[in-house]
């Protein structure tokens, strides 16, 4: 633990930096072992998920144990050539994806509450009388 705190020092990371990476432009036939060989050089990996559906082939999520290892991997592997394909390595923005579904849920909740209390609608509900 002491070595890790010395390595990190007071370094401040940008807010988008996190342990989960999204990798695009992978060869379709890359194996999990090859992924661990490539990405494992930069630190301990918690999980690798290769896309195997038609629309996710050539992509993967790589989750590191340590955020600084993930940053190091992004710095070194963006543009790395694997089987004549240049990798695109990005920080995964999981909250961006969830925001889209959250907005829909919130809109549905607002509509339900408006109907319940007769707010914002042209015809007041029976509860208002």
| 127 lies in some domain | no
Which pLDDT does position 29 carry in this prediction? 93
- The Cα 20–Cα 57 span in angstroms is 18
Residue 1 lies in a domain: no
Q: CATH number of the domain that 64 lies in?
A: 3.30.70.330
Is 36 part of any domain? yes
Judge whether 121 and 115 are in contact, CB under 8 Å. yes
Is residue 69 a part of any domain in this protein? yes
Q: How many domains does the chain have?
A: 1
Asked if residue 28 belongs to a domain, the reply is yes
Structural domain for 108, as ranges: 17-119
Q: Is residue 86 part of a domain?
A: yes
Say if 92 falls within a structural domain.
yes
Would you call 23 exposed, middle or buried from its count of C-beta atoms within 10 A (0-12, 13-18, 19+)?
buried
Predicted pLDDT at 121: 52
- The average confidence (pLDDT) of the chain is 83
Q: Is position 107 within any domain?
A: yes
Q: Is 103 helix (H, G, I), strand (E, B) or coil?
A: helix
Per-residue pLDDT reduced to its tens digit, 97-116: 556 667 778 788 888 888 88
Measured distance CA(9)–CA(6) in Å, rounded: 5
Q: Which pLDDT belongs to residue 2?
A: 44
Q: What is the mean pLDDT of each run of 10 residues along the chain (129 residues)?
A: 48 83 95 96 96 92 95 95 94 69 78 82 53
Q: What pLDDT is stored for residue 86 in this prediction? A: 95
**pLDDT on residue 27:** 95
């Amino acid at each position: 633990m002491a070595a890790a705190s010395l390595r990190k020092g007071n370094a401040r990371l940008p807010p988008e930096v996190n342990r989960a990476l999204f990798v695009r432009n992978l060869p379709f036939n890359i194996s999990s072992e090859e992924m661990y060989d490539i990405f494992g050089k930069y630190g301990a990996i918690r999980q690798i998920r290769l896309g195997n559906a038609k629309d996710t082939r050539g992509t993967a999520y790589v989750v590191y144990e340590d955020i600084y290892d993930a940053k190091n991997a992004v710095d070194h592997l963006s543009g790395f050539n694997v089987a004549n394909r240049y990798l695109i390595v990005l920080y995964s923005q999981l909250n961006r994806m969830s925001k889209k579904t959250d907005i829909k849920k919130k809109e549905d909740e607002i509509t339900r509450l408006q109907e319940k209390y007769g707010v914002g609608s042209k015809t007041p509900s029976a509860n208002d009388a």
